[in-house]
Amino acid sequence: MALETATVVLGGGMPAVLEVLDFALGRRPGVAILGWDTSVQGTVDKVAARSPDVALVCADLPDWDGIKACTDIKRLGTPTRVIVVGSEGDQATLISAVKAGADGYVTVADSVDDLVGALHQVHRGESRVPPLMLGSLLRGLIELRREDDAAVERFASLGNREREVLVELVAGLDHHTIATKLHLSPHTVRTHSQNILTKLGVHSRLEAARFVFEHDLFSRFGIGDG
């Protein structure tokens, strides 16, 4: 059976690497390189304009954010599949790639044959993770899910008034302004603030804000603008 050609756009911060990939992959049967770009926006624009089957993007490099490229390509809502090229054993980048919606992850230690195999694998609709990284990837995702569940549980323990105060704290308002806005005494706002930090398991309003945004808690609880 003839191999279906996978059309590919390449993205990464190093032109020399992309030129080598273009040359090496473009010569293989079943692969057609539609172009490459060294900027995230340029790569996303090429994907939007050329609708490749697969975008092969390098992971983080100086002046290049491969995870953002993956996220932005996925946000286009096109059928283009994304493979991130990262370091062998770089668990953090692999997890970030999966969270960004990547369909595959290959490593710089992989051969061109491996890359071609990965391109066709994700083009067929399958996912691709380096076998030796799969176990720790699953473990990492499970840990993240547990942290997320715990965050939701902590947030759910806040009373309605505490949630109202938290919204204002995250917005950067001071206690006096919050008190005026919510028709409370400053002392009550301070008490609520302390209780909020304790319940969320954080030590400052800055940490509280990060906690809320990291777990997307306002949106998930239908609070404010999300």
Partner 1 sequence: MREQMPDTTLRPCHLPGTRLEQRGGRVIVCDADGKAMLALNESAAALWELCDGSTTIDEMVMAICEVSSISVHQARDDVERTLGEFERAGLLLAGDV
Instruction: Candidates 24, 76, 112, 137: give the one binding partner 1 (CB under 8 A).
Output: 137
Q: How many CB atoms lie within 10 A of CB 186?
A: 14
Binding to partner 1 by residue 98, rule CB under 8 A?
yes
Interface of this chain with partner 1, residues 141 to 170, rule: CB under 8 A? 141-142, 145-146
Instruction: Candidates 20, 109, 134, 206: give the one binding partner 1 (CB under 8 A).
Output: 134
Instruction: Candidates 77, 125, 183, 225: give the one binding partner 1 (CB under 8 A).
Output: 125
- Burial string for 28-60 (b: 16+ CB within 10 Å, else e) reads beebebbbbbbebeebbebbeeeebbbbbbbbb
Q: How many CB atoms lie within 10 A of CB 146?
A: 10
Q: Provide the mask over 55-94, with x wherever binding to partner 1 is found by CB under 8 A and - wherever it is not.
A: ----------------------------------------
Binding to partner 1 by residue 20, rule CB under 8 A?
no
Task: Determine phi and psi for 9, rounding to 5 degrees.
Answer: -115, 135
Cα 38 versus chain centre, distance: 20
CB of 91 to partner 1, least distance (A): 13
Interface of this chain with partner 1, residues 100 to 119, rule: CB under 8 A? 103
